[in-house]
Every structure is written in C-alpha cells, then in structure tokens.
C-alpha cells in the first residue's frame, strides 16, 4: 500500500504510538485493546439496555460459543476467538454491509492490524483455516442472539442474515448474563480477565 506524508498513527493511553498502516506488535498493549473495545458499540449503538453492547462483551460471547461448539479447541484457538475483532479497538466497528461496500484498503488495514495483534501475543499471524471457519461460525451465532435479544430483529430476519442457531444446541452457562449489556468498566475488566485466563492455559 502506498504511504503518504499524512499522520497515520494514533497515540494510545498507554503512551504507545500505533502506526495504523504499518503496525508493530511492539506498540500493542492488552490494556489499550480492552479499553478501546469496551468503548466501541456493536450495531452502531442501536441496542436495548442502559449500556451499549460493546465489542469487548461480544468477543467474550464469541469465545463462550466457540468453546461450546468446538469442544476440543485449544487455548491458542480460544485466544484467536477472543481477539477476532481486535483491530476494532482503533478502527471502530462498522456494520458488515458498510465494510463490504468499502472493501479494498479497509480490509487490508484491518488484516494487518489483526496480524500484529496476534504476533504481539505469540500467536500465528493468521490462524488455521478450519479454526477461522469455526470462529466465524461462533461470531455469526453471537450476532444472531444479539440481533434478536438486543437489536430489534425478528427471528426470521435474523435467521436469514446470520443463520438460526438454537441456544439449546449449546451448553452455554450464564447466557442471560452474557447477552445483557455490561457497563463499560465491567466489559473492559472482563475482557482482560478472559484474556489472562486463556493465556495462563497456554503458558501451562
């Protein structure tokens, strides 16, 4: 991608300067990711509840669905699932139709950021195709439940867009809590806690 003389970095609260066009894993911090994702709203904020449904909370929901539907998934694969929307801590969350319309550079920037995030936490830059497919399935299932429970979609419409999973198909403890929007601070703390729990399993 051609570079320009315009500023392409963002200063993080950690003090890091992250180059959005050529991101270095050394400029990525867990605290910055958790802080950012906890403040990015899914569905452009068009959800029920006293708080936005954040990308941080969505990421935890995806991990729980991924674990429930991929029984033999490794801790590293679970970390890939948690970080699947990691680039959105600096890029925000655009709804899928808008992403498709933008295409091109947007997707390249997103992919480069996600690869840098993976490398920062000692994961392969890209996860295996089969893992990526299963994470995407969990992501779509999470989107279905969010659409029906929070975003005002009828089940038929959500089913056409995301597929029609049944919560009865999973052994998903605490679903009611997972789908109820959390305050920003809780979402940030829970994201960091989930990250550390998974990372500890990798270390073992």
The residues, ordered by sequence, that sit 6+ positions from 200 with a Cβ below 8 Å of its Cβ are none
Instruction: Name 36's bridge partners.
Output: none
Say what the pLDDT of residue 6 is.
66
Q: Which of the listed CATH numbers 2.40.50.100, 3.40.710.10, 1.10.3210.10, 3.30.1360.120 matches domain 25-203?
A: 1.10.3210.10
CA dist 157 and 148 (Å) reads: 9
Cα–Cα nearest to 65, from 148, 135, 163:
135
Segment 94-100 mean pLDDT: 71
Say what the pLDDT of residue 167 is.
58
Q: Is the pLDDT of residue 104 over 70?
A: no
Domain boundaries, the chain: 25-203
Q: Which of 25-39, 46-60, 81-95 has the lowest mean pLDDT?
A: 81-95
The model's confidence at residue 1, banded by pLDDT at 50, 70 and 90, is: very low
DSSP letter for each residue of 52-105: --BHHHHHHHHHHHHHHH-TT--HHHHHHHHTTTTTHHHH----HHHHHHH-HH
CA dist 185 and 52 (Å) reads: 12
Whole-model pTM: value is 0.91
Q: Summarize the chain as % helix, strand, coil (round to 5).
A: 60, 5, 35
Average pLDDT of the chain to the nearest whole number: 91
Is the separation of the CB atoms in 62 and 146 below 8 Å? no
The model's confidence at residue 165, banded by pLDDT at 50, 70 and 90, is: confident
Q: Is the pLDDT of residue 164 over 90?
A: no
Query: Which of 2-11, 59-68, 172-181 tops mean pLDDT?
Result: 59-68
């Amino acid at each position: 991608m051609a570079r320009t003389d315009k500023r392409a970095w963002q200063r993080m609260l950690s003090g890091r300067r992250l180059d959005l066009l050529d991101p270095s894993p050394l400029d990525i911090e867990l605290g910055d990711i958790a802080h950012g994702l906890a403040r990015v709203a899914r569905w452009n904020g068009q959800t029920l509840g006293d708080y936005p449904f954040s990308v941080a909370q969505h990421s935890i929901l995806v991990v729980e669905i991924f674990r429930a539907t991929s029984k033999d998934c490794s801790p590293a694969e679970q970390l890939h699932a948690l970080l699947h929307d990691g680039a959105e801590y600096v890029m925000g969350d655009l709804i899928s139709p808008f992403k498709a319309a933008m295409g091109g550079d947007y997707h390249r920037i997103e992919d480069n950021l996600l690869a840098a995030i993976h490398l920062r936490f000692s994961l392969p830059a890209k996860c295996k195709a089969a893992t990526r497919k299963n994470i995407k399935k969990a992501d779509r299932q999470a989107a279905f439940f969010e659409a029906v429970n929070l975003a005002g979609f009828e089940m038929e419409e959500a089913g056409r867009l995301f597929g029609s999973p049944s919560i009865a198909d999973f052994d998903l403890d605490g679903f009611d809590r997972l789908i109820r929007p959390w305050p920003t601070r809780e979402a940030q703390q829970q994201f960091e806690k989930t990250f550390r729990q998974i990372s500890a399993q990798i270390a073992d």
